[in-house]
Amino acid sequence: MKKPIFRGAGVAIITPYTEEGINFPELGRIIEDQIAGGTDAIVITGTTGESATMTDAEHRAAIKFAVEQVKGRIPVIAGTGSNETSYAVSLSKYAEEVGADALLVVTPYYNKCTQKGLIAHYKAIAEAVNIPIILYDVPSRTGVGITTATYVELAKVPNIVAVKEANGDLSKILRLKAAVGDDLVIYSGNDDQIVPILSLGGQGVISVLSNVAPKDTHDMCQAYFDGDVKKAADLQIAYADLIDALFCEVNPIPVKVAMRKLGYNAGPLRMPLCEMEPEHERQLEAALRNHGLLK
Q: Taking the CA of residue 147 as centre, how many other CA atoms within 13 Å lie in the half-sphere pointing to its CB?
A: 10
DSSP, collapsed to helix, strand or coil, labels residue 240 as helix
Binding site for pyruvate, by residue number, is 48, 206
CB crowding 268-285: b at 16 or more within 10 Å, else e: ebeeebeebeeebbebbb
Look at the alpha carbons of 84, 89, 92, 93 in this order and tell me if their dihedral is positive or negative: negative
Give every CB contact of residue 227 below 8 A, 6+ residues apart in sequence.
Answer: none
Residue 136 pairs with which residues in a beta bridge? 106, 164
Phi, psi of 258 (to 5 degrees): -60, -40
Q: Which residues are identified as catalytic?
A: 136, 164
DSSP, collapsed to helix, strand or coil, labels residue 253 as helix
Q: Taking the CA of residue 290 as centre, how many other CA atoms within 13 Å lie in the half-sphere pointing to its CB?
A: 13
Quote the radius of gyration of the chain (alpha carbons, Å). 18
DSSP, collapsed to helix, strand or coil, labels residue 79 as strand
Query: Hey, what's the torsion of the CAs at 37, 41, 42, 44, to 10 degrees?
Result: -150
* CA pair distance 232, 39, nearest whole angstrom: 16
Binding site, by residue number, is 48, 206
Strands (E), the chain: 8-12, 41-44, 76-79, 102-106, 133-137, 160-165, 185-188, 204-207
